Amino acid sequence: MIRILFVCHGNICRSTMAEFIMKDIVRKQHMSEKFHIESSATHTDEIWNGQGSPVYPPAKAKLREHGIGTPDNELGVSEKRARLTSRTDYDKFDYIIGMDSANIRDLTRLFSGDPENKVYKMLEFADRSGDVADPWYTGNFDDTWNDCSEGCHGLFRRIVTDPKYIDELSDDNCLNAYDDYESPDQGLIHDDFPRG
């Protein structure tokens, strides 16, 4: 199983949107059983007495606008609560993806470095630099959606075209993305998300 953790400051907007975008991508590719996807926070701002806040309503609305968190594609949106990233997460996940430079600094400090090269910045997978737009400050959930969507699609493409996952992802229930390296998207089910 390929394990992915998306991380932002409070775990109610950006990392949560990325978590459910990625869950939707793998569901559409009939690969849900091959992935474990979560999100978490670097700070406790949205965690009170051990109880995390739910997905921020405008973020939830943006997900629903794209068919995620709806009755026929709920994916756990209604049950999601913010949680704090722990040191043990480093051993549990294959990819730990921060939304911005501050998240990367916090993660590197928490994990005492990144000895296994698991920590990435989200927009690396969209082949561009910079931080995922933070709608907490901008109020612009469209930009955040686009950043997260491009990053998730880039991450998914990287995983399915990585030879180290060939045995894990190639079976009767999953697509075989390794037959034609010149066209790594061959066989993927395309959707309406923007791609990087």
Helices (H), ranges, 33-128 = 57-65, 89-92, 101-110
Instruction: Report which secondary-structure segment, H or E, holds 23.
Output: helix 14-28
Q: 168 phi and psi, to 5 degrees? A: -70, -35
Q: 40 and 71 in contact (C-beta within 8 Å)?
A: no
Catalytic-labelled residue, pool 134, 148, 152, 157: 134
Annotated catalytic residue, options 14, 24, 131, 152 = 14
DSSP characters over 86-103: -TTHHHH-SEEEESSHHH
Residues contacting residue 105 through CB under 8 Å, at least 6 positions apart: none
Supply 22's token pair.
């990625």
Which residue is catalytic, options 8, 13, 148, 152? 8
Confirm whether 134 is a catalytic residue: yes
14 is catalytic: yes
Q: For the chain, percent helix, then strand, then coil, each to nearest 5?
A: 40, 15, 45
For residue 148, indicate whether it is catalytic. Answer: no
3-class DSSP state for residue 30?
A: coil
Q: What residues are labeled active site?
A: 8, 14, 134
